[in-house]
A and B are shown apart, each in its own frame.
Chain A
């Protein structure tokens, strides 16, 4: 499966560069605008977590995104050298309290809601987050086959 890789410094204003690569590769995978945005959102949230909670703020650390695509499917691998940080534990969803809505943990909720799989792996020196998104063919497409 063909893949593309980009590495950015752990700075908040660099995250949008990863979003641009996601957009380009989502076109190759045949994703619609809404699915593409969902993937950009998940990568943005994961990167904000890496910078804020992993590296404990903007730093000279690096974040590397590798995207592999095939028609209808995109796999994203996000790796960093921060201390161990696992965002793959599914957050507990509570009923919304409209008077005291949550302001924390929204990033993890978004990642788990929009991606099909969220898997974390720790190597000797790296955190790697594996995300995937698959689209089902449209009814018209299915009838054509």
Chain B
């Protein structure tokens, strides 16, 4: 798993790539918590190159969404890969996340 973070004026774009499972979810969560701790509570996640996400990855999404929303921000998803979309639907969590077809729209939403 690789993570790139780009800072925009009103939000941060976090690009996560590869496999998000129990072996990597800790690093994923740490990166997002660090943003929230700096007060960067508007987060757009580019998940176009996520090849696998297990329930451990879903737990990070749900937990961070709650953290940033309670601070007045939001966590949205940009360009989810088919596998991300499938996993969210299978777990019944797809209704929780606003998704955008492209990165610009996701950042523009804030």
Number of A-B contacts (CB under 8 A): 70
Q: Chain B residue with minimal CB distance to A42?
A: B90
Are B59 and A41 in contact (CB-based, < 8 A)? no
Q: Chain B residue with minimal CB distance to A106?
A: B55
Query: Which of B3-11, B37-45, B92-100 sits within the interface?
Result: B92-100
Q: Number of B residues whose C-beta is below 8 Å from A?
A: 23
Looking at chain B's contact residues, the main secondary structure is helix
Are B22 and A106 in contact (CB-based, < 8 A)? no
The interface residues of chain B lying within 8 Å CB-to-CB of A73 are none
Residue B28 lies at the interface, judged by CB distance under 8 Å to chain A: no
Residue B83 lies at the interface, judged by CB distance under 8 Å to chain A: yes
A104 to B93, CA, bound (A): 13
Are B62 and A51 in contact (CB-based, < 8 A)? no
Are B92 and A15 in contact (CB-based, < 8 A)? no
Instruction: Give A36-50 interface residues, CB cut-off 8 Å to B.
Output: 37-38, 40-41, 44-45, 48
Are B90 and A41 in contact (CB-based, < 8 A)? yes
Are B55 and A45 in contact (CB-based, < 8 A)? yes
Are B92 and A12 in contact (CB-based, < 8 A)? no
Interface string of A26-62 (1 = CB under 8 A from B): 0000000110011011001100100110000000000
Residue A109 lies at the interface, judged by CB distance under 8 Å to chain B: yes
A41-B87 contact in complex given A12-B21, A48-B56, A101-B62, C-beta closer than 8 Å:
yes
Q: List 22 A-B contacts (CB under 8 A).
A: A12-B21, A12-B22, A13-B23, A16-B21, A16-B52, A33-B82, A34-B86, A37-B83, A38-B90, A41-B87, A45-B54, A45-B55, A48-B55, A48-B56, A52-B22, A96-B92, A101-B62, A103-B63, A106-B55, A107-B55, A109-B91, A113-B91
